[in-house]
Amino acid sequence: EDQVTQSPEALRLQEGESSSLNCSYTVSGLRGLFWYRQDPGKGPEFLFTLYSAGEEKEKERLKATLTKKESFLHITAPKPEDSATYLCAVSSDKYIFGTGTRLKVLA
Amino acid sequence: DSGVTQTPKHLITATGQRVTLRCSPRSGDLSVYWYQQSLDQGLQFLIQYYNGEERAKGNILERFSAQQFPDLHSELNLSSLELGDSALYFCASSVGQGANEQYFGPGTRLTVT
C-alpha cells in the first residue's frame, strides 16, 4: 500500500537554529514528490516539486532534496514567519499527503 | 492568492441536511481535487476530476458526491450530514492529471450542529 510518513510531528526551533524535516515514502511508481506549507485555517501553499533521486530545489531559507526512499526539507536560519505546518505529498496513481510537521520558530 | 476560488467560506447547517460546496479552478487548470481536513487532522483526499471526468477516488463517503462542469468549475455535494462531517473542505486544481503541483483554494469551513 502506498504510504507517506513525515517526521517529526512537531518541531520547535529557536530563530536561526537550522534543522531538517523528513518525508519517507513507499509508493509503486513515483511520479513526483511535492512540498507544501500550510498556515492555520488556510489552504496549503505549493513550495517545491522533485521528480528524481538526487534532485534539489531551493527557495529562500528552504531546500528540498530527494532520495529513492525519502525527501528532506532543510530550513536554514529559520525566522518566526517560517512557523507553519509543512506537508509532503507523493504522486503515483494517486496523490497522497503526509500528516505534516508542525514547525514553530521562536524569536 | 492561488487563483482557486471556493464558496461559501463558512457554512453552518444541521444534521441530516444537504449542502453544496463550489470551486472554480485556476485559469487553464483541468484537474480539480477535493480534500477534507478535520481539526488537527491531515488532508484526506476525496475525489479528483479531470476535464469533466472522474479521474481518481479516495475515501469519499457514499453520502458525498461531486461533479465537474463543462466550464471546469466543480461542486461537492454532502448529504445526510452528520456531526463528524464538520471540517474544512479544500478544493485544489492542477494543470494535468497527476504529477503536477496543486494550487489550493481558501477552503470552506463546514459546521454541522
Confidence category of residue B31, pLDDT binned at 50, 70, 90: very high
pLDDT (tens digit, 9 = 90+) per residue, A16-34?
Answer: 999 999 999 998 888 999 9
Of all residues in chain A, the one with the smallest CA distance to B36 is: A43
| C-alpha to C-alpha distances, B78 to A42, B20, B72, nearest whole angstrom | 21, 6, 20
Q: Tell me the chain B residues in contact with residue A43 when contact means C-beta distances shorter than 8 Å.
A: 2, 4, 90, 92, 104-107
Q: What is the pLDDT of residue B17?
A: 98
Mutation for testing the A interface, residue in B6, B29, B39, B43 having most A CBs under 10 Å: B43
CB atoms within 10 A of CB B65: 14
A73 and A20 in contact (C-beta within 8 Å)? Answer: yes
- Interface contact flag, B48 A95, Cβ < 8 Å: yes
Q: Angle B22-B12-A42 (CA atoms, 0-180°, nearest 5)?
A: 60
Q: Closest Cα partner for B58 from B84, B90, B35? A: B35
Per-residue pLDDT for chain A (107 aa), expressed as one digit of tens each? 889 999 999 999 999 999 999 999 998 888 999 999 999 989 999 999 999 999 999 999 999 999 999 999 999 999 999 999 999 999 987 888 999 999 999 99
Q: How confident is the model at residue B103 (pLDDT cuts 50, 70, 90)?
A: very high
Q: What is the pLDDT of residue B80?
A: 98
- Report helix, strand or coil for A80: helix
Mutate to test the interface with B, among A85, A95, A97 (most CBs of B within 10 A): A95
